Chains A and B, each alone.
Chain A
Amino acid sequence: MTEGNEQEIKAIVFQLREEEYAVSVTQVRGIERVEHITRVPQTASFVKGVINLRGVITPIIDLKKRFSMEATEFTDSTRIIIVYIDGMEVGLIVDAAYDVIDIPHDAIEPPPEVIGTVDVDYVDGVAKLDSRLLMLLNLEKVLSNKEIKDFQSVEV
């Protein structure tokens, strides 16, 4: 574990429907339970709204909507992962979030051409751990403003 810094990355694993994803711990600020989310009208459909995160208004994104996956009801295991990118704090709604795991670099493979319905540009790679398959997310791409702007212009 101790010597693993170069060969392993620490990541937080979370679940969307049946699939497991991972984001680097360096980008994660915390994991929260779902509280009241205030809807913000006339924004992109995957923007669920804003929450009060200890006094800071934090936008919340529904990752399943973002990945065009089918929506499910919130359950007890539903969590919000607070990530920090480009000076912004954004919350991501996921079906469940697990502990931190170490992913050895050599277990990571480039993303396959097609993974289900998800467009591959925000998947950095796929890690195979035992029988699990983890998709490593590129959060910059997930949250890219450009794409949001495109979304908005499409909607308008």
Chain B
Amino acid sequence: MEMNEYLEVFIEESKEHIQSLNDNLLVLEKDPTNINTVNEIFRSAHTLKGMSATMGYQDTANLTHQMENVLDAVRNQKLVMNSEILDVVLEAVDYLEAMVMDIAGGGDGKRDVEGLVKQLEAIENGEAVAVNSDSKTNTSVSNNSSFDQLDQFEITVLQESEEKGYHNLEVNVKLQDACLLKAARVYMVFEILEQIGEVIKSQPSVPELEEEKFDLEFTVLLVTQESTENVEKRIMKVSEIDKVTIKPFNVEGGYSKNQSDQPQPEQDGQVNNDKVAAKEQTTNNQTTTKAAVNNKTIRVNIERLDGLMNLFEELVIDRGRLEQISDNLKHAELQETVERMTRISGDLQTIILNMRMVPIEQVFNRFPRMVRQLAKDLGKQINLEVIGADTELDRTVIDEIGDPLVHLIRNALDHGVESPDKRLEKGKPAEGNLQLKAYHSGNHVFIEISDDGAGINRDKVTNKAISNGVITNEQAEVLTDSQVFQLIMESGFSTADTISDVSGRGVGLDVVKNTIESLGGSITIESEAGKGSVFSIQLPLTLSIISVLLVEVEKEKYAVPLSSIIETAIVNKSEILSAHNKKVIDFRGKVVPLISLKQVFDVPSSSDEDEFYSIVIIRKGDKMAGLIVDTFIGQQEVVLKSLGDYLTDVFAISGATILGDGQVALIIDTNSLIK
């Protein structure tokens, strides 16, 4: 049973490699010539193969082995990556994931992989031959590049400049036969080149050029922002130059995107091989630096972190108790020590909470695959943009937020982004944009899902709402846009004309809304017809320790989360108005309904009513309400605890907390108080 102890490591690492396979394959799809990515994928597949063979998971090993063969062919330029091959490889990765999941769930990881293996074999053998002959013809035609040896630094510079939108140009200059001062001419050419860009390398080398150790021709590798024509014109200004030939130089060795006016065949095989070698070196180097960084982190079982958090929660409770005791005793030294302890435990709290923070990447990184698949299924072209994947959230939130996001993305793809023809009709590019953006702001994390699709049709929504009896005709006219959009998150609401496989059964958005609200967050929708919509989710940074306002109703203490409080107020009885038999107040020009906690919670009442009311103004989205309480006790950090399995679904109570005096105070779920 020695294996058991490795099993966990195997599963963890396999998951990581599968994720990296997924990521890199998608990168490869966008840039099929990137040998670097292929290498990365190859390495992941190779490691997976080795690991699963060691652990005795034969099916996994077989599949990865065949996948590796295909990738190897791609890597060695025997095969050109295309969408079909990618589909098969991605499917293989899906299988691998399923198998690893099975192993993680205690299964034996067996699965029928024969079909896929055959498919992969076919790709490797069948198509490889065809492509092979192709590349041979290529080889015979092209041998034009003078730069068959680039060192790692040069490649990096070229890659970077390409990413930044500079052109990598191979400039071949031929001097006139009658040229006397060749070195001087070379100098002048170099001076011009330095003005408009940077010379990465020259052939022959610079010292050789200076010593006139060349015939009439020399070639330089130039990084510049200038266009090919401009570079040519400038160089031609130097006298005694016969001819300037400029062609784009592609670092990856594939076809260049911006071919110049003189299309030149690409580099020959040898160049490529050398470059691959150089590239491999680059990536190897990268991984070593990565490894160095990784050494500074350790893997900790989540259960241990949860244990630490629980212990710390106990500490926070005791801290509260200690604070209260020291306040009562008014002993100077004790107070000082307690204050110090409070500060230190505050810092400790920040650190522990940070430790539980996980980048939202964990959730986001499964979306590219999903979007790709969905776009294919729906026949739409989608460009997914992910921003802020490193934004961190508490693990508990991360665990819950995945499904709602999946739902919203499906929704955006299905209902939001139009089909390519429709988009072109409307004068938009055929490819729709879907943006996933996460960022911090204050004590909250925002996640936005925006598309540039059709947007929400206000009339459609109101009509549907009227026909469903959710609102009346009169209401429909006065509702603001955002109020109308909120309607689509009511249950049983789908405006899609046809129900599709992807979404539109009308059981989606209300669930999304509920999940987000149960996490203490909120969701808002902005939309402009024809331009697209933005679904914005606001989430608390953490769920376990929250700031609350403690209030007292008769003898009972309740905690109201600060995040939902706008402010507190004390109003005179005479300021309370009545509308539709409901108590309301005029609060900063707005009519705010009042909710008596005493009535909602059936608090046994003893004393007579006061002349003044203490009111906590709470909000839920745009709506506000005032909670009538007896006294405000104060603000406090408390640990959120559940009421347990026995008491579930208690109305308007989201949990409980233990106060400094050891008593339990209930935490009010303000969202369920506002309808």
Contacts and interface: CB of A to CB of B under 8 A. Distances in A.
Given A50-B647, A52-B658, A90-B646, A57 B653 contact: no
A38 B317 contact: no
Contacts of B557: 38
A81 to B, nearest CB: 15
Contact of A38 (B642, B644, B645, B663): B663
Interface string A36-47: 101111110001
A96 interface: no
Contacts of B556: 38-39
Contact of B645 (A43, A47, A50, A87): A87
A36 B601 contact: no
A88 B642 CA distance: 12
Given A36-B662, A38-B663, A50-B664, A88 B646 contact: yes
A57 B641 contact: yes
B644 A89 contact: yes
Interface string A7-39: 000000000000000000000000000011011
Contacts of A49: 664
B291 interface: no
B644 A58 contact: yes
B656 A55 contact: no
Interface string B294-312: 0000000000000000000
A76 to B, nearest CB: 20
Interface in B656-674: 656, 658, 662-666
Given A36-B662, A41-B651, A47-B647, A57 B601 contact: no
Interface residues of A, number: 25
Contacts of B644: 57-59, 88-89
Nearest to A55: B314
Interface string B617-653: 0000000000000000000000001111111001111
Contact of A42 (B650, B658, B662): B650
Interface in B582-609: 600-603
A38 B647 CA distance: 13
Interface string B503-524: 0000000000000000000000
A55 B662 CA distance: 9
Given A57-B643, A57-B664, A41 B603 contact: yes
Contact of B601 (A35, A42, A86, A90): A42
Nearest to B557: A38
Contact of B656 (A43, A57, A88): A57
Interface string B176-190: 000000000000000
A136 interface: no
A90 B641 CA distance: 16
Sorting the interface of chain B by its residue count into under 10, 10 to 19, 20 to 34 or 35 or more gives: 20 to 34
Contacts of B317: 55
Contacts of A39: 556
Contact of B664 (A41, A43, A51, A87): A51
A86 B651 CA distance: 24
A147 to B, nearest CB: 12
A51 B659 CA distance: 11
Contacts of B600: 41
Interface string A73-105: 000000000000011111000000000000000
Contacts, number: 71
Nearest to B661: A36
A36 B656 CA distance: 14
A51 B644 CA distance: 12
B650 A40 contact: yes
Nearest to B317: A55
A88 B645 contact: yes
Contacts of B662: 35-36, 52
Given A50-B643, A55-B317, A38 B601 contact: no
Contacts of B647: 40, 43, 47, 50, 59
A43 B642 contact: no
Contacts of A59: 643-644, 646-647
A52 B666 CA distance: 12
A38 B665 contact: yes
Contacts of A88: 644-646
A153 to B, nearest CB: 12
A56 B601 CA distance: 23
Contacts of B665: 38
A47 B662 CA distance: 20
B83 to A, nearest CB: 51
A34 to B, nearest CB: 13
Given A38-B664, A38-B665, A57 B658 contact: yes
B582 to A, nearest CB: 20
A94 B486 CA distance: 50
Nearest to A86: B645
A139 interface: no
A143 interface: yes
Looking at B314, B600, B642, B664, which has the most chain A CB atoms within 10 Å of its CB? B664
Contacts of A55: 313-314, 317, 658
A47 to B, nearest CB: 7
Given A39-B556, A51-B664, A57 B642 contact: yes
Interface string B310-325: 0001100100000000
A52 B664 contact: yes
Contact of B663 (A52, A86, A145): A52
Contacts of A40: 643, 647, 650, 653, 666
B651 A42 contact: yes
Looking at B600, B651, B666, which has the most chain A CB atoms within 10 Å of its CB? B666
Nearest to B556: A39
A90 B653 CA distance: 19
A50 B658 CA distance: 11
Contacts of A47: 647
A144 B642 CA distance: 20
Contacts of A143: 646
A38 B603 contact: no
A40 B654 CA distance: 11
A145 B652 CA distance: 20
Looking at A35, A36, A55, which has the most chain B CB atoms within 10 Å of its CB? A55
A41 B604 CA distance: 11
A58 to B, nearest CB: 7
Looking at A35, A38, A88, which has the most chain B CB atoms within 10 Å of its CB? A38
Nearest to B311: A55
Given A50-B647, A51-B664, 12 more contacts: A36-B664, A38-B556, A38-B665, A40-B650, A40-B666, A42-B601, A43-B650, A50-B664, A50-B666, A55-B314, A57-B641, A57-B644
16 contacts: A36-B663, A38-B656, A40-B643, A41-B600, A41-B651, A41-B666, A47-B647, A50-B647, A55-B317, A55-B658, A57-B642, A57-B643, A57-B644, A57-B658, A86-B645, A143-B646
Instruction: List 8 tightest A-B contacts by C-beta distance, closest first.
Output: A41-B601, A38-B664, A59-B646, A42-B651, A52-B658, A57-B656, A36-B663, A88-B646
Interface of B: 313-314, 317, 556-557, 600-603, 641-647, 650-653, 656, 658, 662-666
